Amino acid sequence: MQPPTVFQFFNEVINQKPAPIQSIEEIRKELLQNEELISIQDFGAGSVLNKNTNRSINYIARTSSSSVKFSCFLKRVADYIDAKNILELGTSFGLNTSYLANKKDAQVTTIEGSQEIAAVALNNFQKLKFNNIKLVQANIDNVLPVVLSEIAPLDLVYIDANHTFDATISYFNQIQPFLTDSSILIVDDIHWSDGMYKAWKELCSRKEVSLSIDIFDAGLLFFKSGLTKSHYTIKF
Ligand SMILES: C[S@@+](CC[C@H](N)C(=O)[O-])C[C@H]1O[C@@H](n2cnc3c(N)ncnc32)[C@H](O)[C@@H]1O
């Protein structure tokens, strides 16, 4: 993507008003009001692997889901590149998955490790009548190679799972061979911790990455070959 195209990406994707999808926002509202406790296995940063804890659905929805604005942004990215094959790491309750799957000709594969969180997500996908989402309930570390070999090549990848340096680098190393010249990879929460920011900076420096855009909530990586490597920080 050449700089004028970056300008186009900014105008058509980043600098756009959110267009919330009513049916998905109804689900978000329900989740934010749901006080039911579920048992979660926490695979994420700073937690003891597989430690079981009970948390309310509304607490998880409040703390783990991204904003409506960001969900709408993800959909715009998918539309912009006409993504047909999408991978999400870290489903949670499937709100962003749903925005991505709203592109009817796209197939979305999403991986969630926590069994009861995945069950809530599946229920949401059924309520929304999606038949283009495949939810894999497993630890990403155990299944990513097989999932990638089954679904590649990938147009769009959204990473929002284990927010550590090591996990982020490992996800990238495994995914990158399955990307194409026109793929976009989005890493969520790049400013969440020193480790995530260090991972982001390392990914930007990789030779396969031709363009990186820091929108603060997330970082976007582009892989088009033959371009002069460039980096932008853009207010989202
Ligand atoms: C921040 S939430 C994802 C939010 C979701 N993308 C959204 O915005 O709606 C991160 C999710 O990743 C899951 N997760 C973290 N590490 C994982 C791993 N190693 N394997 C599978 N799931 C994992 C967590 O259980 C959690 O539900």
At residue 42, the pLDDT reads 79
At residue 51, the pLDDT reads 58
Distance from Cα 64 to the centre of ligand 1, integer Å: 8
Distance from Cα 227 to the centre of ligand 1, integer Å: 33
Q: In this structure, what CATH number is given to the domain that contains residue 33?
A: 3.40.50.150
Distance from Cα 91 to the centre of ligand 1, integer Å: 5
Nearest CA to ligand 1 atom 7: 65
N-term to C-term CA, the chain = 19
For residue 220, give both structure tokens: 């976007």
Distance from Cα 98 to the centre of ligand 1, integer Å: 15
Ligand 1 binding site (Cβ under 6 Å of any ligand atom): 43-44, 64-66, 90, 92, 95-96, 111-114, 117, 139-141, 160-162
pLDDT tens, per residue, the chain with 236 residues: 555 588 999 999 999 999 999 999 999 999 999 999 999 987 866 444 445 689 999 999 999 889 999 999 999 999 999 999 999 999 999 999 999 999 999 999 999 999 999 999 999 999 999 999 999 999 999 999 999 999 999 999 999 999 999 999 999 999 999 999 999 999 999 999 999 999 999 999 999 999 999 999 999 999 998 888 999 999 88
Domain that holds residue 155: 3-233
Number of domains in the chain: 1
| Global confidence as pTM | 0.96
